[in-house]
Amino acid sequence: FNISKAHAMKWITSNPAKAAGILDQTGSIETGKNADIVLWTGNPFSVYSRAQKVFIDGALAFDINNPKIQPVTDFDLGIINPTTTRVQ
């Protein structure tokens, strides 16, 4: 497929909002619409890019350079043994 980045971005933002019937509220960055914004370290379609900053409801919710603005998680990748209990 030869899809432009602009077209791909529309497919993952405006089109789902349109399908959900909420395109008038979200799906693009416009005055009066709700939007959560992610700033990436590189091309957002690259597996090597990481979220650098995330804004939710206008507030900074994540900053890759500030540990105080990073979510706390109880999900620890790779330390769960599925047949028994937590591996230490």
Helix, strand or coil for residue 75?
coil
86: pLDDT strictly greater than 60: no
Using CA atoms, how far apart are residues 7 and 16, in angstroms rounded to an integer?
Answer: 13
Rg over alpha carbons for the chain, rounded to the nearest Å, is 18
Q: What confidence tens digit (pLDDT) does each residue in 27-74 have? A: 988 999 998 999 999 998 899 999 999 998 889 999 999 989 987 776
